[in-house]
């Protein structure tokens, strides 16, 4: 990490956190991605409670990145390609408020960039209306250890990874090859 520049954090939800994590962590300038939960009403969040749909939390990732290598706007551009921001509380077969499309901003600058991206970038990729929620980040709860770095640890030994995540990673490799870390 370049110590002359402040590391920034983005918090994004695009369905199952395993999927978005697997895509974003491959980008140049991304130092770390942590899966977790945000945006709920319960005082604590864990996988079982969040999956019940009663806590109002979303599965999210926190992206720690070097803004001199990749901008917040560029991360959002990849985010729009990594999930469907036109389906309310759903990504594929994953249904419920925990799978909603959401951007949790950390400051007014991120809010402005996200608003511009929602209005000007996402509609170029999707013909249906964008339903992505935009909210301030109030609290982030890190997911249980077995969820962290899931795709890299489990890969295609899990059928969900084979049929849902691997195609997203391949799409990233095709559309954003110039932004990827060297293998």
- Backbone dihedral angles phi then psi of residue 169, each to the nearest 5 degrees: -65, -40
What is the Cα–Cα distance from 118 to 130, expressed in whole angstroms? 7
Give me the catalytic one of 16, 19, 51, 161: 16
Task: Give me the residue label for tokens 């920034």.
Answer: 8
Given a contact cutoff of 8 angstroms between Cβ atoms, the answer to whether 120 and 89 are in contact is no
Q: How far apart are CA 133 and CA 129, in angstroms?
A: 12
**Cα distances (angstroms) measured from residue 179 to each of 4, 10, 78, 162, 167:** 22, 17, 10, 23, 18
Angle in degrees, 0-180, between the axes of helices 108-120 and 72-82, rounded to the nearest 10: 40
Distances (CA, A) of 139 to 2, 42, 95: 27, 11, 23
Bridge-based pairing of strands 101-105 and 133-136 is parallel
- In the residue annotation, 51 being an active-site residue is answered as no
* Catalytic (active-site) positions: 16
């Amino acid at each position: 990490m370049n110590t002359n520049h402040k590391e920034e954090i983005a918090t994004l939800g695009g369905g199952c956190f395993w999927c978005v994590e697997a895509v974003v962590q491959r980008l140049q300038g991304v130092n770390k991605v942590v899966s977790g939960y945000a945006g709920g009403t319960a005082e604590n969040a864990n996988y079982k409670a969040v999956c019940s749909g009663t806590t109002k939390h979303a599965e999210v990732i926190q992206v720690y990145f070097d803004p001199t290598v990749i901008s917040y706007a560029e991360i959002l551009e990849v985010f729009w390609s990594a999930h469907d921001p036109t389906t309310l509380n759903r990504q594929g077969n994953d249904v419920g408020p925990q799978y909603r499309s959401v951007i949790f901003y950390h400051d007014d600058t991120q809010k402005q960039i996200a608003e511009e991206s929602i209005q000007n970038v996402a509609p170029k990729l999707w013909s249906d209306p964008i339903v992505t929620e935009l909210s301030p980040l109030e609290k982030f709860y890190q997911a249980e250890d077995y969820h962290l770095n899931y795709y890299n640890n489990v890969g295609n030994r899990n059928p969900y990874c084979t049929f849902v995540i691997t195609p997203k990673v391949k799409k990233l490799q095709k559309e954003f090859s110039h932004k990827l870390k060297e293998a």
